[in-house]
């Protein structure tokens, strides 16, 4: 293995790893390099990235090495990540959105009755994100506020109208299917030895 | 000594038929139905003798083949100007369409393999659940996730009832009022979702009785577009 | 902002993002560059990484760009990620994906008509893996739900856009395609059933 190849394999490993990679781990994965080799390669890479002034550097942390973006660029990276975070709903948020979507207009007590837990916090977040809105008060004791979904809700989930929401029973068939494959469901078959006739047949060793 | 033999799984009747056609080097546009039917049935018989599970669609196809075979045996009275349709026509079209998709699926498998040689940056997928949610690039979540969340939350309620044995104090009158109140703010109520999704059996019973009573008093209208479809409750106008 | 800075900010963003970044997105995050600028920078970076032969390259996929490891190094990266290897799609999954990709938007009944079998199980797997999505309803009796492919579908298969899919017609004439593998199935069944005459037979390894 050429030196340059080794270096680039180490680079690929560092890039794809979920955690800071130790030189020990690197030498375990690439069989023909020692821990010392790995240490040298990583040191070289580190200096190289430092001098190249690219978008990211190799950082020595927690007994290992990992690629991180350059601190100077943090302001842009944060912008990217903030947007990304906004793009997901929490479990609670998703549950409440589902209850409002399917039972609207619905009051907070009913949402909490279905979920079995206090839902004030996530409800506020959903209002702030404009996925649900207040749609008047219920004509009932205490006149509780009623919640409905918004147009932003439709956009967020990529549908045109509330009538496009799948009915539970419509997709229950899919939800309850175990992901088992259809067709003739036999992959392997044990055949007792003795019946031959096959010209090219190797027994298991 | 024992041999372990790998058997390929046929995805469905079309898959099996295409295999028989290829094996027999048959012209797909002129399938000898008698021959193919015989081989198809033999195959099913073998599967059966091996106690393999046979999906219903395979049996339906066997019947279709028999029907086509019978039609082809019938003497044909050719009327003037009348175009006689080959009884195999639809089957052949379906087979060709399936073959097209099967070929495409094989290509997709190649794409998948090539793409699996590339790994994205680490630390992006911490666990399974994250991975499943990873695709929404356009700040969008899937509607499937929403329904599944709703389904799960209702399931949880059903499970809970095994722990609490509190009879609900609700009366039929209260439930009747509740239904009418809901109909004040919305056009219709889904029978399954609003009324039958409460975990406690007693509540379901009370709800059901309330609906019957309201219907009797002509305060609500119940409708269902087709058997087994959702039942909707409307205000009686 | 110097040109080199811009390039390295883009590089940092591409590195930090966990989904393919479009040039549009890049130009939104870095305020003083246009989409055209972003496109040019990304093109340059791509050529650069291709030529540098480093551990990773910039891939054009799902309408955006993302850094991924070089395919030559997959064998080592796989060793590193042994525990989180993604599972391959089943044949049923591939077939349904193909039907949705070419016929979208398409309803479940039509998918099952093409395949000739119930497809609830694999459909569920594809929805869960976010390779296909529910996208409204058909304006037809019964208003069935419609399915479409997702951006994740493009990324999973390494495709940039749906228009890059091969034409269905192009592959039509492979009908006399190799029956070798499937062929074995029947032969082996005959053996299993007591018959013989299989010309070629594999034992499991």
Residues sharing a CB contact under 8 Å with residue A91, sequence separation 6 or more, in sequence order: B149
CATH number 3.30.360.10 given to A75-204:
no
**What is d(CA B168, CA B50) in angstroms, rounded to the nearest whole number?**
54
Chain B touched by A32 (CB under 8 Å)? no
**What is d(CA C177, CA B100) in angstroms, rounded to the nearest whole number?**
11
Which residues on chain C are in Cβ contact (under 8 Å) with A9? 55, 73, 76
**What is d(CA A94, CA B136) in angstroms, rounded to the nearest whole number?**
15
- Considering CB atoms only, which of B99, B118, B144 is closest to C59? B118
Q: What is the pLDDT, as a whole number, of residue B226?
A: 62
Same fold, C3-69 and C75-204: yes
Instruction: Locate C171 and state its tokens.
Output: 């592959």
Q: What is the pLDDT of residues B207-226, one digit of tens each?
A: 878 888 888 788 888 877 66
Helix boundaries (H) for chain B: 13-23, 33-49, 56-73, 89-115, 128-132, 143-160, 172-185, 201-216
Q: Return the minimum-mean-pLDDT range out of A93-107, A145-159, B8-22, B128-142.
A: B128-142
**Which one is predicted more confidently, B13 or B119?**
B13
CB contact under 8 A, A195 and C199: no
**What is d(CA B158, CA B162) in angstroms, rounded to the nearest whole number?**
8
Chain C touched by B137 (CB under 8 Å)? yes
CB contact under 8 A, B100 and C168: yes
pLDDT at residue A186 greater than cutoff 90: no
Chain B touched by A78 (CB under 8 Å)? no
CB contact under 8 A, C119 and A202: no
Contact partners of A by the rule of 3+ C-beta pairs under 8 A? B, C
Q: Which of residues 43-72 of A touch C (CB under 8 A)?
A: 53-56, 67, 69-70
Q: What is the pLDDT, as a whole number, of residue B228?
A: 60
Q: Which of residues 114-153 of C touch B (CB under 8 A)?
A: 114-118, 127-131, 133-134, 150-152
Chain B touched by C83 (CB under 8 Å)? no
Instruction: Please name which of C54, A52, A80, A126 lies closest in space to residue B124, comparing C-alpha atoms.
Output: A80
Location of structure tokens 């909707």: B232
Q: Give the burial string for C180-190 (b: 16+ CB within 10 Å, else e).
A: eebbbbbbbbb
**Helix (H) or strand (E) run with residue C17 in it:** none
Chain A touched by C92 (CB under 8 Å)? yes
C122 three-state secondary structure: helix
Mean predicted confidence (pLDDT) in B101-127 = 78
Mean pLDDT of the residues in chain A? 80
Chain C touched by A175 (CB under 8 Å)? yes
Which residues on chain A are in Cβ contact (under 8 Å) with B140? 87, 155-158
Residues sharing a CB contact under 8 Å with residue B122, sequence separation 6 or more, in sequence order: A15, A16, A17, A18, A19
> Which residues are registered as beta bridge partners of A146?
A107
CB contact under 8 A, B131 and C86: yes
**Helix (H) or strand (E) run with residue A61 in it:** strand A56-61
Residues sharing a CB contact under 8 Å with residue C16, sequence separation 6 or more, in sequence order: A69, A77, A80, A81
Mean predicted confidence (pLDDT) in B192-217 = 74
Q: Which site among A80, A82, A87, A177 would you substitute to test the C interface, given the most C Cβ atoms closer than 10 Å to its Cβ?
A: A80
How much of chain B exceeds pLDDT 90, in percent? 18
Q: What is the pLDDT, as a whole number, of residue B190?
A: 79
Mean predicted confidence (pLDDT) in B115-120 = 83
Instruction: Please name which of B159, B165, B168, B151 lies closest in space to residue B204, comparing C-alpha atoms.
Output: B168
Q: What is the pLDDT, as a whole number, of residue B160?
A: 53
Per-domain residue ranges for chain C? Answer: 3-69, 75-204
Query: What does chain B come to in residues?
Result: 237
pLDDT band at C106 (very low <50, low <70, confident <90, very high): very high
Chain B touched by C201 (CB under 8 Å)? yes
Q: What is the pLDDT, as a whole number, of residue A82?
A: 75
Which residues on chain C are in Cβ contact (under 8 Å) with A79? 29
CB contact under 8 A, C12 and A174: no
Q: What is the pLDDT, as a whole number, of residue A190?
A: 34
- Considering CB atoms only, which of C172, C179, C193 is closest to B46? C193
**What is d(CA C176, CA B78) in angstroms, rounded to the nearest whole number?**
35
Mean predicted confidence (pLDDT) in C72-76 = 88
The topology under which CATH files domain C3-69 is Arc Repressor Mutant, subunit A (1.10.10)
Q: What is the pLDDT, as a whole number, of residue B214?
A: 86
Q: Between chain A and chain C, how many beta carbons pairs sit less than 8 Å apart? A: 169
Query: Cβ(C86)–Cβ(B116) under 8 Å?
Result: yes
Nearest CA in chain A to B181: A139
Measured at the CA of A165, the angle between CA A160 and CA A170, to 5 degrees, comes to 140
Chain B touched by A80 (CB under 8 Å)? no
Rounded to an integer, what is the distance from CA A34 to the centroid of its chain?
35
B29-to-A106, A139, B60 alpha-carbon distances in Å: 60, 69, 22
Q: What is the pLDDT, as a whole number, of residue B123?
A: 60
Query: Cβ(C115)–Cβ(B12) under 8 Å?
Result: yes
Helix boundaries (H) for A90-164: 91-103, 108-115, 120-128, 151-157
Q: Kindly report the nearest CA distance between residue C193 and chain A, in angstroms.
A: 9
DSSP one-letter code for A183: S
Measured at the CA of A161, the angle between CA A156 and CA A165, to 5 degrees, comes to 80
CB contact under 8 A, B2 and A193: yes
Q: What is the pLDDT, as a whole number, of residue B5?
A: 41
**What is d(CA C66, CA B102) in angstroms, rounded to the nearest whole number?**
30
Helix boundaries (H) for B74-115: 89-115
Q: Kindly report the nearest CA distance between residue B82 and chain C, in angstroms.
A: 30
pLDDT at residue B75 greater than cutoff 90: no
- What is chain B's alpha carbon radius of gyration, rounded to the nearest angstrom? 29
Mean predicted confidence (pLDDT) in C17-27 = 89
Q: What is the pLDDT of residues C111-125, one digit of tens each?
A: 999 999 999 889 999
Q: Kindly report the nearest CA distance between residue A186 and chain B, in angstroms.
A: 7
Chain C touched by A13 (CB under 8 Å)? yes
Q: What is the pLDDT, as a whole number, of residue B152?
A: 82
Nearest CA in chain B to A193: B2
């Amino acid at each position: 293995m050429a030196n340059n190849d080794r270096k680039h394999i180490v680079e690929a490993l560092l890039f794809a790893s979920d955690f800071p990679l130790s030189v020990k781990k690197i030498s375990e994965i690439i069989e023909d390099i020692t821990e010392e080799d790995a240490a040298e390669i990583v040191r070289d890479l580190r200096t190289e990235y430092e001098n190249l002034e690219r978008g990211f550097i190799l950082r020595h942390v927690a007994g290992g090495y990992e690629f991180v973006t350059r601190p100077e660029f943090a302001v842009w990276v944060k912008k990217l990540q903030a947007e990304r975070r906004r793009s997901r709903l929490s479990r609670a948020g998703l549950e409440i959105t589902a209850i409002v979507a399917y039972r609207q207009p619905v009051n907070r007590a009913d949402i909490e009755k279905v979920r079995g837990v206090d839902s004030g916090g996530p409800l506020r977040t959903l209002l702030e994100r404009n996925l649900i809105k207040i749609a008047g008060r219920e004509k009932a004791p205490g006149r509780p506020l009623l919640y409905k979904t918004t147009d932003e809700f439709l956009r967020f989930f990529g549908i045109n109208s509330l009538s496009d929401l799948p009915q539970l029973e419509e997709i229950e068939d899919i939800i309850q299917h175990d992901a088992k494959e259809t067709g003739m469901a036999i992959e392997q078959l044990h055949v007792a030895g003795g019946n031959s006739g096959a010209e090219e047949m190797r027994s298991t060793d | 000594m024992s041999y372990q033999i790998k058997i390929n799984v046929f995805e469905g009747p079309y898959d099996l038929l295409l295999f028989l056609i290829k094996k027999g080097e048959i012209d797909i546009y002129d399938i000898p139905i008698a021959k193919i039917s015989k081989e198809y049935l033999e195959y099913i018989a073998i599967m059966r003798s091996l106690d393999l599970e046979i999906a219903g669609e395979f049996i339906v196809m066997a019947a279709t083949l028999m029907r086509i075979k019978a039609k082809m045996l019938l003497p044909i009275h050719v009327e003037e100007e009348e175009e006689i349709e080959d009884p195999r026509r639809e089957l052949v079209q379906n087979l060709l369409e399936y073959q097209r998709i099967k070929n495409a699926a094989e290509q997709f498998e190649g794409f998948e393999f090539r793409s699996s040689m590339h790994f994205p940056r680490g630390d992006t997928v911490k666990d399974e659940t994250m991975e499943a949610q990873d695709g929404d690039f356009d700040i969008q979540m899937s509607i499937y996730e929403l329904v599944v969340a709703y389904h799960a939350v209702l399931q949880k309620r059903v499970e809970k009832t095994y722990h609490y044995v509190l009879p609900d104090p609700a009366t039929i009158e209260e439930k009747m009022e509740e239904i009418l109140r809901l109909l004040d703010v919305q056009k219709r109520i889904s029978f399954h979702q609003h009324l039958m999704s409460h975990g406690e059996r007693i509540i379901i019973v009370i709800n059901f009785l309330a609906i019957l009573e309201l219907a009797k008093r002509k305060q609500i209208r119940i409708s269902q577009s087709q058997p087994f479809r959702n039942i909707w409750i409307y205000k009686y106008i």
